[in-house]
Amino acid sequence: MSDNQVTYPVATMCRLLGVSSSGYYAWLYRPPSDRELSDEWLLSKIKAAHQASHETYGAPRILHDLREEGICVGKKRIARLMQQAGIQGVSRRRGFKTTTKDPAATPTADLVDRNFTAAGPDQLWVGDITFIPTYTGFLFLAVVLDAWSRRIIGWSMALHLRTELVLDALEMALAQRRPENVIHHTDHGSQPEFKGWSQHRLRQRSIAVRVIPRLEFSSRGSCVAGY
């Protein structure tokens, strides 16, 4: 209303918005509350700490600095004020590319075509890999998900990204469910030799499982999107 009072009368705007003119003027000239004054003072401290860190600190590190100064404040309040002021820290967390496409590999036919629904259990499985940061390094997790129930039916964790990581997850799913005919869908960047090794193991088990790599889902991961 303050921005438009040059164009429209205040009384007209108040009537259209369903507020009283006296209430609007009371709000307009009301002095800042103690909470607003406290937020303004705290924001100045946050900006100083952020600039002292060369604009790299986020809410957790700024919280640590403020508490060292004897300022008792919560992390959520700091995060709220930083978000309102457009202040953001810099994350130096190292990421991993969990799958890599083999340029020499022949793409396998896609039997899913983005349709991740199934009429019953053990008809369509999807798999993917992710990494979990820990205090001692990164832990890699491979999972197999049943598209019908959205349940994780096989999983494997390791400190490496070798082929056996995903094979162990598939082995767990096979041991638990013992399907008769199932499509196992992964992204196109499956681990080296995964398709050949898995087909060899499945032939030994006499189970009809087709391993379906797909390029379009390599960035999102066709498995973990479901749970």
How many structural domains does the chain have? 2
- % of the chain exceeding 90 in pLDDT: 26
Report the sign of the C-alpha dihedral through residues 22, 28, 34, 35, in that order.
positive
DSSP state of 4: T
Q: Look at residues 138, 137, 128, 149 and name the one whose alpha carbon lies nearest to residue 222.
A: 128
User: Does residue 192 lie within any of the structural domains?
Assistant: yes
Tens of pLDDT, residues 185-224: 877 654 544 555 555 555 554 444 455 443 233 223 333 3
Same domain assignment for residues 148 and 208: yes
User: Does residue 146 lie within any of the structural domains?
Assistant: yes
User: Does residue 195 lie within any of the structural domains?
Assistant: yes
Same domain assignment for residues 207 and 134: yes
Same domain assignment for residues 144 and 196: yes
Same domain assignment for residues 69 and 129: no
Q: Supply the pLDDT for residue 216.
A: 33
Which among 38, 57, 85 is the end of a domain?
A: 85
What average pLDDT does the segment 145-164 reach? Answer: 89
